[in-house]
Structures are given as C-alpha cells and as structure tokens.
Amino acid sequence: MDSFKFFLSEAFRTLRRNAMPSFAAMVAVLVTMLVLGVFIPIVQAANGAANSVRGRVLVDVYMTTGATSSDVQRVRVKLDGVSGVGKVEYVNKDKAYATESKRDPEAYALLGSNPLPDTFRVTPKNADDVTQLKNALLQVKATDPGIDSVRDRRDDTTKILQATRFVKFTVGVLAALLVAASILLVANTIRLSLFSRRREVEVMKLVGATDPFIRWPFVFEALIVGTAGALGAVAILGFAKVALLDPLANDFALIAAPRTISFPLLVLILLAAGAAVSAAGSVVSLRRYLRV
C-alpha cells in the first residue's frame, strides 16, 4: 500500500512538473477516444445495414413451364440438401405475377398470360460463397429435368460484397491508426518525463533501485493521462447524447433506428481503451528509453 501511494504521488509530481506535455497528451487521448466513441456506433450501424443487405444475396432457381407440384417438392428436397444453402424460399408463379403486375400494371396487362415461372430463391449461408453455391445448383439442374435455369444476381451481389468488404477494411485500418496514434503520443510524453528526470533515475539506479521500482511511477503517469483523456471524451459524448441525439431521435427515425452499443457499455470500453493504450505507450517508451 505504501508503494502504491509512493508511485501515485510520484506520478502526480511528474505531471505537475511536465504540465504542458502531459496536458497535450491528455488532449490527444481525449480526441482519439472521442473519435473512437463516435466511430464504434457508426461502424455498428453500417455493419448492421450491410448485413441486412447481405441477407438479400440470392441465387434464383427457375422451374420449367410444365413443372408439377411433385417436381416442386422433389427439387426443394434437393436444394435443401445442397451444402452452403442457408434458406430456400418458394415463389409460386401466380404470386410472382400478382406482385410484379402491381409494380407495372400496364406492361403486364399487355401480356395476356403469365410468363413467369415457379421460382426458388436460394440464400447462401455465407454471402461470399454465392458463386460456389451457384455452381452446386447448376449440378443439381443437370440431374433434374424440372429445373429450367439457375441465375444469380451478379451485379447486385458484386456491389453488396464490395460494400461489406470496404466496411470491414475501413474498420480495421481506422482502428489500427487510432490505437497506434494513442500509443505513440503517450510514449512520447513518457519519454519527455524520463528525460526531465534522468538525473533522478541515475541516482536511483546507483543506490540499488530495481527497474520495476523506477518504471511504476511512469506507468501510473500514463494511466492517469489516458484515463483523464477518456473521461473527458465520455463527458463530451454524454453531453452530445443528452443535448443532441436523444431529442433528435424522437423526431427522426433514421437516428433512432440503428441498433448500436449501449452508452454505459461504450463508456466502459472507452475507459478501458484509454487506460490500455496509455499503459502500452508507457511500456514501449520505458523499454526503449530507460537505459541508465
């Protein structure tokens, strides 16, 4: 307990002596955590929207014109047995005609008869495997006379997969940049603290102080800076939520609709992230610059 009090007092003493660098590091962590606090809900909403769209990636299996109910049942059993199939939906041609004719009644009125076939809409378990699924369904078509053709929605599928890959790539890159920036900023602050106390460190080493005993005050300093920055970000986000988002959510469904992380959980994540990146920054700096 005495050691803890000593490390904490030394950390605050160093913060007072290096007020400007410490304040700059705290502001940098605050901005990073603020961006992260906005970024997490946006990414969750984007991923939710992307997953919703990915769920509409389909392969259409069209039955022949003279297909009977027994043909439909037989084909359905075969489709359910294909590896990679997530969902199979049967669309009766009469139902399809009724739906399409409502969209363009004049065009369908000129047809006179129903040109649409019975269709199975097959959704893959994984949208990325839609091409493999189509190839497997083509093999089923080759062995069943009740199937007329198999088609995927190539353009829509390509756009959906590109959008989801872009979201994942963006999430990874931005998260990596934010973490790296925070660690480097805190490491620089600790390096400045070490430089300002280099004589003290030399004396402590000469009188037999161990490396952990020397390091802990700097680790505490980094944790204080990181936690203070995270708390500042939480305060700003909390004010923005109460003053801006909550009132707007009552009037705009677009803001209220996305299901994202709860604010208390977001607070815990930001506090943990601030402390973690600060501790990591201190470790990086101490390993590199604590050479006496």
62's tokens: 């069209």
Query: Tokens for 271?
Result: 């506090």
Place of tokens 């990636």: 57
Domain ranges, ordered by start, for the chain? 2-53+160-289, 58-152
The amino acid sitting at 154 is: R
How far is residue 106's CA from residue 236's CA, in Å, rounded to a whole number? 56
CA distance linking residue 16 with residue 141, whole number of Å: 77
User: pLDDT value at position 154?
Assistant: 62
Q: Give the C-alpha distances (Å, rounded to integers) separating 191 from 22, 182, 285, 289.
A: 11, 14, 6, 7
Strand partners, 87: 123
State the sign of the Cα–Cα–Cα–Cα dihedral 8, 9, 10, 16.
positive
Q: What does the CA dihedral 272, 277, 279, 282 come to, rounded to 10 degrees?
A: -160
CA of 105: how far to CAs of 94, 109, 110, 114, 119, in Å? 15, 6, 9, 13, 21
Taking only the tens of pLDDT, the chain with its 292 residues reads: 666 676 667 667 766 766 677 777 788 788 888 878 877 787 777 666 666 666 667 888 999 888 888 988 999 999 988 888 888 888 887 787 777 667 666 655 556 666 778 889 888 888 777 888 888 889 989 889 889 888 876 666 666 667 767 766 776 787 778 778 777 777 777 777 666 666 666 666 666 666 666 677 777 777 888 888 889 989 998 888 887 776 666 654 445 555 677 888 888 988 888 888 787 777 776 666 555 4
CB 184 within 8 A of CB 278: no
In three-state secondary structure terms, 115 is coil
Please report where in the chains the tokens 């040109």 appear, as a residue. 115
pLDDT of residue 292: 45
CATH topology of domain 58-152: Alpha-Beta Plaits (3.30.70)
Q: What does the alpha-carbon distance between residue 60 and residue 34 come to, in Å, rounded to a whole number?
A: 45
8 Å CB contact between 223 and 279: yes
Its pTM stands at 0.57
**According to the model, what pLDDT value does residue 220 have?**
79
Q: Are strands 147-152 and 59-63 parallel, antiparallel or unpaired?
A: antiparallel
